[in-house]
Structure 1
Amino acid sequence: MNENADANFIRPTHFLAVQITDPIIKGKMKEVQDCIVAKESILENVVVGVDLAHITLCLLSLPNESTVNEANKILQRCRDDLMSILDGEPMNLHISGIGHFDKRVVFAKVVPGDNEEKLKLFSEHFDKEFALLKSTNPFEYTPHVTLMKLSKLRSFAMKKKIKQISPKHFEDIEDMDFGHQNVKTVQLLAMSRKKATEYYFCESDISVEESNVETTEAEYAEE
């Protein structure tokens, strides 16, 4: 990133996401992480806890309560458009295969198909609706579930020790089939606020099921 890009960078504080709750998927995520760490133990420092598992749809910069409230209102207004995208069909995402972004992020892939395309349409819609609240994101949107990432490293010493996550560590399991996630809600999550559980603090959510059953805070605590 050059100096001009640094000057224009808007750091995200929140994000819109789909939570991964399926226990089979989370169990296989842990298997993959353990397999990689077994080959290079220092990579334990870059493992993303499976209880944080999600698929990001849009990064947002909401520096104060006013912008958080505005984002909550926009999200609620988006529901009818998202339901139109789904066209009466449930969203069931197939998670299969392992990839990486420049050896700095290892992730589980969302299998291409109708549901993955609808997920991309969700992201595009949010890009438009939240245009004034978006964070800087120079990368093309690729739906994924993060397994490990170097950005978890905070100390300079650790950053010097861990330069990359070698794809050789997972080449023998890169076709792992993680399973299927039924998408019930889209959530507005805070990056820095955690609940008693290990998942992110949910500012608000919208149902993307035809039944329109709201998810309560208590249910998040149980997942």
Structure 2
Amino acid sequence: MEGSDCDADAKMEEETSQNETEEPEKESSDDTVCQFFLAGTCRFGDRCRNTHIAASDASEQPTANKDNVSKDKSHSKRIGKKPPMKTASDVISRIQWDPHLPKEHFLIGYLDRFVGVIEKPFSEFCWEDLASAGIDVLAIPKHRIQYFKYQELVVWDKTNRTDNVFGSTGSGLTILDVIAQHETLVQTEQNDKEEMKQVALDLSDEEEDCENSTQDYHLQKQSTKKVRPTHFIAVRISSEEVRSTVKEVQDVLIKHNTEIAPFLTPLPELHLTLCLLHLVTSDEMEIVHTVLQEIRTEIQRILSPSFILSFDGLKDFHSRVLYLAPMFVPGLSSFVENLNQRFRSNGLVVIDPPTPSSFHLTIAKVPRSLASKNPSLRFLPEVYNNIQITHFGAQHIDTVSFCHARSSRCTDGFYTTLLELPLY
């Protein structure tokens, strides 16, 4: 048996050697084509003794390679798949336990079932199990969290798949990068503020040199005009009825003049401004928070819970700002005057609007320089008075917002909101 096995092994080895010697000749021959290869099922690959590609069969190559093409498509799909995003729970744990992250600088925007998205400081939340959390603490299901902010920068957003905490969605940024960039920005802004303070001191010295109160008054008014608002208190327009009406008006404006499109107010930005502020330091912003909290009880006394803001028609400022004028509401002007007085008494700079007695909901606004050069961009009564709308909708006011006047926006398109204060 052993001898026969050796003979069989030797014979097999000899045939294998002979096949390897003859293989180049068969590869160069077009006589024998592998039928299994044409069917796409050949399992020998390059070691196959028959010819895989013949000149006359070049057109059949895609069919023969269909398995490979299918594999390539599958591989492409795997490459195009979005990377998994770190969850809100991951971000919470990172903020809680990373000693390099100042918890007091983080904010959370979460979805309230009745009010909408509300923003609160991270330190106000209780992260215990909801079943064991007390009724006097702020505890929410983590799936309601919409975004996290570091200072005023959104670093994690569920809707837009933004993750600059871990960089899990491929942004290339982590929270430490964001903090470093923010510190650089703060330092730059601080330098600008120091320059502004110096200018203010120079103006103050000039006012002291004035000889009479009339000159002092005019100088004060002139310096106030140079100060631009950095923050504002507003009522956000969330009514779909009002928004749809504004959209209808804007469509008519565009139909009349397509050049007006860039100057239309986006629907998510619609708001009624109550107060304009120029704030420089974080202490001043904290004063705004305190005043709003203190005046909350007075709001409930002045304004009823059924406070409805209605609009009675379109008007314009100098033919370059088109707005909806709200109907007169008893108590609203008193509330705003009281609010401004509180801010001033606490040392804050309150900027008087161009028309103090007019609350307005801006629909479109053209810069003064462009309106003067291009008369076609002006809003004329003969155009907007022909819009056939008799009812412009109403807004239930139960919340006021403390917002930043910069160009940055929240994920829902509204201005960056530092505080949303429920009135009732």
TM over 0.5: yes
Gap change, CA 1:107 and 1:127, over 3 Å in 2: same
2:311 aligns to what SS in structure 1? strand
Other-structure match for 2:360:
144
Which residue in the other structure is 2:271 paired with?
54
CA offsets per residue over residues 148-167 of structure 1, 9 Å max, x none? 1113x8xx678633562222
Paired amino acid for 1:44: A
- CA distance in structure 2 between the partners assigned to 1:91 and 1:83 by the alignment: 10
Q: What's the TM-score once normalised by structure 1's chain length?
A: 0.81
Which residue is equivalent to 2:50? none
Question: Is the 2:312–2:325 contact (alpha carbons within 8 Å) kept by the matching residues of 1?
Answer: yes
Aligned CA distance change for structure 1 residues 89 and 195 (closer, same or farther; 3 Å): closer
SS class of match (2:373): helix
For 1:104-115, list aligned pairs within 5 A.
104-112=320-328
Partner of 2:395: 181
The residue aligned with 1:96 is 312
Shift of residue 207, structure 1, vs aligned partner: 1.5
Structure 2 CA distance for aligned equivalents of residues 170 and 19 of structure 1: 24
Match of 1:161 in 2: 374
- One-letter amino acid of the structure 2 residue matched with residue 19 of structure 1: R
- Would you say 1:207 and 2:422 are equivalent positions? yes
Where does residue 14 of structure 1 map in the other structure?
Answer: 231
Question: What secondary structure sits across from 1:194 in the alignment?
Answer: coil
Indicate if the aligned counterparts of 1:98 and 1:174 stay in contact, CA closer than 8 A: no
Query: 1:83 maps to what in 2?
Result: 300
1:130 aligns with 2:343: yes
Q: Tell me which moved more, 53-62 or 188-197.
A: 188-197
- Inter-partner Cα distance in structure 2 for 1:49 and 1:64: 30
- More moved, 57-66 vs 173-182: 173-182
How does the TM-score come out when normalised to structure 2? Answer: 0.44
- Structure with bigger strand share is 1
| Residue 280 (structure 2) pairs with residue 66 (structure 1) | no
Is 1:196–2:411 an aligned residue pair?
yes
Give the partner amino acid of 1:164: R
Q: 1:97, 1:174 within 8 Å by CA — same for their partners in 2? A: no
Post-superposition Cα deviations, 1:46-85, rounded to whole Å, max 9, x if no partner, equal 1111111111111011123221111111111110111110
Q: How many residues are matched?
A: 200
Matched, 1:33 2:231: no
**Residue type at the aligned position of 1:146:** T
Identical-pair percentage = 24
| Structure 1 counterpart of 2:259 | 42
**CA deviation string 1:15-55 (max 9, x = no partner):** 11111101111011011011012111111121111111111
User: Given that residues 99 and 174 in structure 1 are in contact (C-alpha distance below 8 angstroms), is that contact kept between their aligned partners in structure 2?
Assistant: no
Task: Please tell me the residue identity of whatever aligns with 2:342.
Answer: E
Residue of 90, 98, 121 corresponding to 2:334:
121
Q: SS of 1:126's equivalent?
A: helix
Unaligned runs of at least 5 residues, structure 2: 1-217
Task: Give CA-to-partner distance per residue, 1:182-203, whole Å, 9 cap, x none.
Answer: 1110111111131122101111
- In structure 2, how many angstroms separate the alpha carbons of the residues matched to 1:27 and 1:52? 14
Q: For the pair shown, which has the larger CA radius of gyration, 1 or 2? A: 2
Q: 1:27 to 1:175 in 2, by over 3 A?
A: closer
Select between 42-51 and 23-32 the one with higher mean Cα deviation. Answer: 42-51
- The residue aligned with 1:24 is 241
Structure 1: gaps of 5 or more residues: 210-223
**Root mean square deviation of aligned Cα:** 2.1
Matched-pair contact (CA < 8 Å) for 2:326–2:360: yes
More helix by share: 2
